[in-house]
Chains A and B, each alone.
Chain A
């Protein structure tokens, strides 16, 4: 029962992240919303698998996936943002401040 609730919370977080992926106006906003929320949702799903099966092979594999997923999602998102800034994707119309540009002057 607890594992089903955890998996449901994870799917709900994934839904919020994907709505942000559709609705937000800018590459940077989309990536920020989607990466954080989808990573947390998948974390919750994997914790649900661990709670359901305990420390046998499938649960331990789900536990191993969690740190891999955290490193992979954050490093990949940072590389994507930096690459798209260097490529010259403009900020959205409602963005008011660009700290990275001021720092690199």
Chain B
């Protein structure tokens, strides 16, 4: 087993921490923090996976994922601060 494979499995296993915070979090804001951090971790998973497999398109998936995660985080922040989405 290569060293990069071990790093890839560690990086995938880190998302379990985020899932713990999403499931266990006492309030809604804790769950949103977990979702936000999970969206950033997936970019790292895509980058290491692109190095391991040699496929180029996985970096594109990372870019699209980080932008969609940003839109989702802003929408949830607007939602819990009690405002409409167009103000």
Binary CB contact string for chain B from 48 to 87 against chain A (1 if under 8 A, 0 otherwise):
1011000010011011001101100110111111100000
- Secondary structure class of chain B's binding surface, majority of residues: helix
Shortest Cβ distance from A28 into chain B, in angstroms? 9
Contacts of B29 in A (CB 8 A): 27, 80, 83-84, 87, 89
Does A45 contact B47, Cβ atoms closer than 8 Å?
yes
Q: Which residues of A contact B (CB under 8 A)?
A: 3-4, 7-8, 10-11, 14-15, 17-19, 21-22, 27, 30-31, 34-35, 38-39, 41-42, 45-46, 48-49, 52, 57-58, 61-62, 64-65, 68-69, 72-73, 75-77, 79-80, 82-84, 86-87, 89
